Amino acid sequence: MRSLDAFAQDKLDDLERRHLRRALADTVREDGIWVERDGKRLLSFSCNDYLNLTQHPTIKQAAIAAIETYGAGAGASRLVTGNHPLFRQLEARLARIKQTDAAVVFGSGYLANAGIIPVLIGRDGLVLADELSHACLFAGAQLSRGLLVPFRHNDVAHARELLRQRRAAHERTLIVTDGVFSMDGDLAPLADLVALAAEYDAWLMSDDAHGLGVVGGGRGSSDAGNTHIAVPLQMGTLSKAVGAYGGYLCASTPVIDLIRNRARTLIYSTGLPPACVAAAIAALDLIEREPGYAALPLKKAKAFTQAAGLPEAQSPIVPVIVGEEETTLAASRLLADAGFLAAPIRPPTVAAGTARLRLTFTAQHPNDAIVRLATIVRNKILRH
């Protein structure tokens, strides 16, 4: 046991020396935007609750009603007895929003990516991944045991060059990318990637964790431009704008049936609690009903980037890139002193030298607070 503790302590000391040690901070979320931490009330610009639906009375009520009807937990894997009737409703709703034939719901977005990719790609396969894709896309690719090759961020020409060199040596090839990049807030060139995939008989999967509910009229990154882009594999999460928990894949009927039969993270993991599924259904109802409300987080992000003198926001996520870890921690403390929560994001979540404050804007952020935040960022952090 001693060597185990010594190992852990050594690793922690090393992280501490490099300003990379992390700690869990108790955070009480009062409502959609205010939090309490260390006895201090802060306006949060660090939640992914873009539409503030985690606190919405109708959605909370739907979760409570589901507990009353179906209980607190699912009790087993969906393939055994955990498939309560709410799943069918949620999957139909997701398929409709994403304009696919079918959908399947997983325990989380991470579990979805860890489960989907190994079903589609085996040892002989190839996975091309945008280098800034979320960690769970890389985890899924690694679990597939295929060859994983990153391409430069949003660089379709680089992806094409890699396909030209490598495609012929693999029976199956999958291209994966975030639809909205989680740490940078920019959008993937999905139309170009769809065309590239078709050219090389590769399959494309987008991760729309940060797109659903907030871009493309709430439908997500496939609808962010003027026309709908038919991405054949659209995964995402119910934990950000949807305000609940769980992951999903929207695709054709045979693909979804195969995933239900083979995805290990679906088969060998307990189904989502009924409350999460009911909350997600109620949230998707609201998103479909109120596109004007779904547009607010991006509007607020754009107001911020304009006031801060930053490039125009493409999504509710705006990175304020500071550079070094220590300076980023200091910038976060400066904002906390001014009443804002802006969590510092450091390597390995982002590349070395690009530590940042990752700001997220939500429907209910007051405009005057956004201007005040922008002024501090512009004058004291970026020093424009």
Ligand X SMILES: Cc1ncc(COP(=O)(O)O)c(C=O)c1O
| Interface ranges with ligand X (CB under 6 A) | 108-110, 134, 136, 178, 182, 207, 209-210, 237, 239, 247
Q: Which is nearer to ligand X, 238 or 373 (CB)?
A: 238
Q: Which is nearer to ligand X, 110 or 203 (CB)?
A: 110
Nearest approach, Cβ of 326 to ligand X (angstroms)?
25
Nearest approach, Cβ of 183 to ligand X (angstroms)?
8
Q: Which is nearer to ligand X, 33 or 209 (CB)?
A: 209
Nearest approach, Cβ of 237 to ligand X (angstroms)?
3
Q: Where are the alpha helices (DSSP H) in 207-273?
A: 253-262, 264-267
Nearest approach, Cβ of 372 to ligand X (angstroms)?
27
Q: Which is nearer to ligand X, 94 or 374 (CB)?
A: 94
In the complex, which residue's CB is closest to ligand X?
109
Nearest approach, Cβ of 213 to ligand X (angstroms)?
13
**Vertex 348, ends 159 and 220: CA angle to 5°?**
55
Q: Which is nearer to ligand X, 206 or 332 (CB)?
A: 206
State the burial class of residue 312 (Cβ atoms within 10 Å of its Cβ: 0-12, 13-18, 19+). Answer: exposed
Q: Which is nearer to ligand X, 136 or 174 (CB)?
A: 136
Q: What are the CA-CA distances from residue 83 to residues 88, 132, 214, 270, 372 (Å)?
A: 9, 34, 29, 9, 48
Q: What are the CA-CA distances from residue 232 to residues 81, 229, 254, 342 (Å)?
A: 30, 9, 12, 35
Nearest approach, Cβ of 242 to ligand X (angstroms)?
10
Distance CA 303, CA 299 (A): 6
Nearest approach, Cβ of 280 to ligand X (angstroms)?
11
Bridge partner residues of 355 (DSSP): 323
Distance CA 145, CA 331 (A): 40
Q: Which is nearer to ligand X, 116 or 136 (CB)?
A: 136
Which residues fall within 8 angstroms of residue 206, CB to CB, at 6 or more apart? 176, 177, 178, 179, 188, 190, 221, 222, 231, 233, 234, 235
CA atoms within a 13 Å half-sphere pointing along the CA-CB vector of 308: 26
